[in-house]
Amino acid sequence: MGGGVTGGVQARPVADPDNRYGVRDERLLTGATVITAVRTIASVVLSAVAAHQQSLELLVAALAVYWVGDMLDGFYARLRDCETRIGAVLDIMSDRLNAGAFYIGLAWLQPELSPAIFVYLAEFMVIDCFLSIAFLAWPVRSPNYFFVVDRPIWLWNWSKPAKAINSALFAVLLLVTGWMWVGLVIASALLVLKCVSLQRLVRIGLPVPGTAG
């Protein structure tokens, strides 16, 4: 259990306290979801063009658009108090599309990295995706606030250091070093961590957690 702020902006971890699943203040169209849509389309288009033109520079630009846009939509949502569970799910799905486009493009341009890339994609697009949408079983606004459900799972997956390692470390090391075996070790370690997180999550109780009292 715990409370806190995210990105220096006061946030409300729990969805509408008068409605367990936050239906009352849910909506698809917000400034944050518009940013999510724009950054997703822009990043995927850049990845596609990069693959077509065999351009690593454009592929890196696609990754930058994905990362910057991902930070911006979350910051805007907290700043303007328009965080929604719908927006969180859209963000999670968009992250997978952006990551998939980038890494498939990287495997296309540098096929020697493929073993590490596909282990990472298995971790990020399947197990991490399942973990990320599991927040819907509780009345929290997004995985960023999973500390109100289970702090260890949140620390391992959605704290700032965990996000940096899961999203940035693998990509940066592959791009900078080109060392497939280092990438494979990191991807495998992340896969193990996600499986441990999943095991802990299952012990807590899914698909619907028990209610206290």
Q: What is the pLDDT of residues 21-65, one digit of tens each?
A: 444 567 777 888 999 999 999 999 999 999 999 999 999 999 999
pTM score of the predicted model? 0.84
| Helix intervals (H) in the chain | 31-53, 56-79, 85-109, 114-122, 128-133, 151-157, 160-163, 170-177, 180-204
Give the pLDDT confidence score for residue 166 in this predicted structure: 86
7, 139, 180 from 196: Cα distances, Å? 27, 23, 24
Q: Smallest Cα–Cα separation from 44: which of 71, 56, 32, 62?
A: 62
**158 and 87 both lie in a single domain:** no
14 bridge partner residues: 140
Q: Is residue 183 part of a domain?
A: yes
Q: Please state, in angstroms and rounded to a whole number, the distance separating the CA atoms of residues 158 and 156.
A: 6
Q: Is residue 36 part of a domain?
A: yes
Q: Please state, in angstroms and rounded to a whole number, the distance separating the CA atoms of residues 85 and 99.
A: 21
Give the pLDDT confidence score for residue 80 in this predicted structure: 85
Q: Is residue 48 part of a domain?
A: yes
Give the pLDDT confidence score for residue 120 in this predicted structure: 97
Query: Which tokens hold the place of 157?
Result: 């997956």
Q: Is residue 5 part of a domain?
A: no
Q: Is residue 6 part of a domain?
A: no
Tell me which of 49, 77, 109 is where a domain ends.
109
Domain count, the chain: 2
The range of the structural domain enclosing residue 192 comes to: 111-208
Query: Which tokens hold the place of 180?
Result: 């497939």
**76 and 139 both lie in a single domain:** no
Give the pLDDT confidence score for residue 14 in this predicted structure: 58
Q: Which residues of 75-99 are buried (b: 16+ CB within 10 A; e: fewer)?
A: bbbbbeebbbbebbebbbebbbbbb
Q: Please state, in angstroms and rounded to a whole number, the distance separating the CA atoms of residues 178 and 62.
A: 18
Encode the chain (213 residues) as per-residue pLDDT tens digits: 333 434 444 455 555 444 554 445 677 778 889 999 999 999 999 999 999 999 999 999 999 999 999 999 989 888 888 888 999 999 999 999 999 999 999 999 999 999 999 999 999 999 999 999 999 999 898 999 999 999 999 999 999 999 988 888 899 999 999 999 999 999 999 999 999 999 999 998 876 655 544
Q: Is residue 7 part of a domain?
A: no
**117 and 186 both lie in a single domain:** yes
**25 and 64 both lie in a single domain:** yes
